[in-house]
Amino acid sequence: MTHPGALQIVLLVVLGLLAGAVNAIAGGGSLIVFPVLLATGLPPLPANVTNSVAQWPGYAGSTLSARRDLGGQRRRLALTTIPAALGSAVGCGLLLVLPQSVFDAVVPILVLLASLTLGAQPWIKRWTSRDGESEGRERPVALAVVTFVAAVYGGYFGGALGVVLIAVLSLLCADSMRRLNAVKVLLSLVVATVTVVLFGFFAPVDWFAVLLLAPSTLIGGYLGMAVAQKMPDNVLRWSVVVLGVAVAIYLFLKG
C-alpha cells in the first residue's frame, strides 16, 4: 500500500468487519474489500493475494462459532477437506503462472450459475429423487470431485467461494442449510489456509493491509456466523442467492 491515509485505514477496518460477516452468512465478502485495496494503489495481483490472506481469520472465527453445527458430520468432512486443500493448492498455482484474464472471463459465469443453482435447489432435489428413494442419500465421489473443483476456483480467485460451496453442498448433501453452512465455512478455512501458506511464500502479499484487515475479519466472521445460525433455511438460502447474483453482475460489469 502506498502510504494509506487515515480514511483508507478506517475504511479497510470497517469493511473487514463487514466482509467477515458476509462470508459467514453467505459468501462474497472478499469482493467488498478487493476494490478498496485497488483504490489504495495495489495492482490487481497483489490486491487479490492480499485479500485472500486477510480473509483467513474471518473463516477461522466463523468455524469457531459454528463448531456445534459441525458435530456429527465427520464423514462428510473427511470426504471434502482433503479435496478442498488439494484444489486450493492447484488454484494458487494457476494464479501464479497464468494471466488473470484467462480465469476472469469465467468467474462471473461460475458465480451466477452457483447462485441460480442454489435458488433452484429445492426443485432440483425433488426432480432428481424418485418417490423419495434418493432423498437423504449423499453422493460421496461427486461431493469430493466438485469440492476439489470449487476449491481450485477458491485458490485462484476466492470471491464468492462461499456461494459456490453452499450450492454444491445443498445439492449433494441431505441436511439443513444451517449445518451445511457450517461445513461451508470450514472448507473455506481449509482453502484459505493453503492460500496463506503458498501466497505467503510465493506471492506479493501486502502484510500491512493484512494487519489492518485480519482482526476485523475475525470479529466479523464470528459474529456473522452467530447471525446465520438463527436464520431459517429459506432466508439463509435466498440471502446467498441475492448476494451471489449481485456479485456476478458486479464482476460482469467490471470485466
pLDDT exceeds cutoff 80 at 1? no
Q: What is the pLDDT of residue 115?
A: 78
Q: What is the pLDDT of residue 198?
A: 96
Q: What is the pLDDT of residues 140-195, one digit of tens each?
A: 999 999 999 999 989 988 777 888 898 889 888 888 889 999 999 999 999 999 99
Average pLDDT over residues 231-244: 77
Q: What is the pLDDT of residue 228?
A: 83
Q: Which residue has better confidence, 76 or 160?
A: 76
- Average pLDDT of the chain? 85
Q: Characterise 206 by phi-psi region: left (phi > 0), alpha (psi -120 to 50), beta (else).
A: beta
Which ranges constitute the DSSP H helices of the chain?
6-25, 30-39, 44-54, 56-65, 74-97, 100-104, 107-119, 121-128, 140-156, 161-172, 177-202, 207-228, 233-254
CB atoms within 10 A of CB 2: 7
Q: Is the pTM of this model over 0.85?
A: no
